[in-house]
């Protein structure tokens, strides 16, 4: 589970994400969580997750972040850079996000892309389900995560799309997926 890199994201996503984890744990009693986060948010994330009865490893060391992400079967993530990283690593996932209502309104007026997830934008299709604003509810997130867990073909579809994305990005030495994606999006916008 990836709550995001800002306190505001952690605050707005904690309720639907934690309720989703609780619902998943009812169905999958062997559920284990990995929660990569930034050192500045470790205390808050650890406190949040201490209130649930699911084994969890909070990973704050950025040197281990990629290994932690790659070890996941599926992921529930805040929309942002980490979602592209999950795609690059081939980890099936869904995204959720709740911005301040005024921010959401401004974004709706200014941003003209069909999707929020960079993989979806780059592939021009909704490969990764997006649950934004009012759609970011525990019920919807739980149903989407259950689909990923119950139907292997859903995971395969995402992994195949991620392979296409990987080819499209073709990272150079020392280049991150988000840097390449940003360059690609800028070329498309020009």
3-state secondary structure 115-154: CCCHHHHHHCCCCCCEEEHHHCCHHHHHHHHHHHHHCHHH
Structure confidence by residue, pLDDT tens digits, 114-164: 999 999 999 999 999 999 999 999 999 999 999 999 999 999 999 999 999
What fold characterizes domain 7-189? Answer: Rossmann fold (3.40.50)
The reported pLDDT for the residue numbered 174 is 64
Specify whether the CB–CB gap between 128 and 83 falls below 8 A: yes
The 10 Å Cβ neighbour count of residue 173 is: 4
The reported pLDDT for the residue numbered 19 is 97
The reported pLDDT for the residue numbered 101 is 87
> In the beta sheet, which residues pair with residue 36?
59
The reported pLDDT for the residue numbered 26 is 96
The reported pLDDT for the residue numbered 171 is 62
The domain ranges of the chain are 7-189
Read off φ and ψ for residue 111, nearest 5 degrees: -80, 130
Q: Which residues of the chain have pLDDT under 50?
A: none
């Amino acid at each position: 589970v990836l709550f995001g890199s800002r306190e505001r994201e952690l605050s707005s996503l904690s309720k639907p994400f934690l309720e989703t984890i609780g619902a998943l744990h009812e169905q999958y009693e062997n559920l284990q969580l990995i929660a990569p986060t930034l050192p500045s948010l470790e205390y808050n994330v650890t406190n949040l997750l201490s209130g649930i009865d699911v084994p969890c490893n909070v990973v704050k060391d950025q040197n281990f972040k990629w290994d932690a992400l790659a070890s996941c079967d599926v992921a529930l993530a805040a929309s942002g850079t980490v979602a592209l990283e999950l795609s690059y690593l081939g980890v099936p996932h869904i995204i959720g996000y709740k911005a301040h209502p005024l921010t959401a309104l401004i974004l709706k007026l200014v941003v003209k892309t069909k999707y929020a997830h960079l993989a979806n934008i780059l592939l021009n299709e909704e490969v990764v389900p997006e649950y934004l604003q009012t759609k970011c509810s525990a019920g919807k997130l739980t149903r989407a995560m259950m689909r990923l867990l119950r139907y292997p073909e859903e995971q395969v579809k995402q992994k195949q799309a991620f392979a296409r994305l990987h080819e499209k990005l073709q990272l150079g030495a020392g280049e991150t997926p988000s840097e390449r994606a940003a360059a690609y999006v800028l070329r498309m916008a020009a």
